[in-house]
Homo-oligomer: A and B are copies of this chain.
């Protein structure tokens, strides 16, 4: 597929990432949602009502971009901006009931997909595969954090 020159495990993981991204763009086409906006919704579902600063950190983008993303999500009825009770500079971004339902469905879809993908794995390999993927994710997170620390002090 993409970035693929061989079929090493790394190439397979890159392929998986690419397929997720493509499928996500496809799945939300026409709904007003986009990958970046869904990312914000996941952050809100995970953290609860949050300031835009917190969302920016969680999503790994600049506060300026969160302003635009929250603008769009507010226009489409997925989030509300409310005054922060203790800090008049800040706003609390909250999921609307509609978006809560959307996220519940999305979580069910995730569980379904998780089951479908694992069903492709030999049952005897299940435990090893789950351990291995978790180990790879942790190692990669450490390598990226190290690279970012060196590159952008």
Contact = CB atoms under 8 A, between A and B. Distances in A.
Contacts of A42: 2-5
A75 interface: no
Contact of A16 (B23, B131, B140): B140
Interface of A: 1-5, 7-23, 26-27, 29, 38-39, 42-43, 45-46, 58-60, 107, 110-111, 113-114, 116-122, 124-126, 128-141, 143-144, 147-148, 151-152
Nearest to A119: B139
Given A22-B60, A27-B147, A139-B117, A9 B39 contact: no
28 contacts: A2-B58, A4-B46, A5-B46, A8-B114, A9-B118, A9-B133, A10-B114, A13-B13, A13-B137, A14-B20, A16-B133, A17-B21, A26-B144, A26-B151, A27-B147, A29-B151, A116-B139, A117-B140, A119-B139, A120-B136, A120-B139, A121-B132, A122-B132, A125-B129, A128-B132, A129-B131, A129-B132, A129-B136
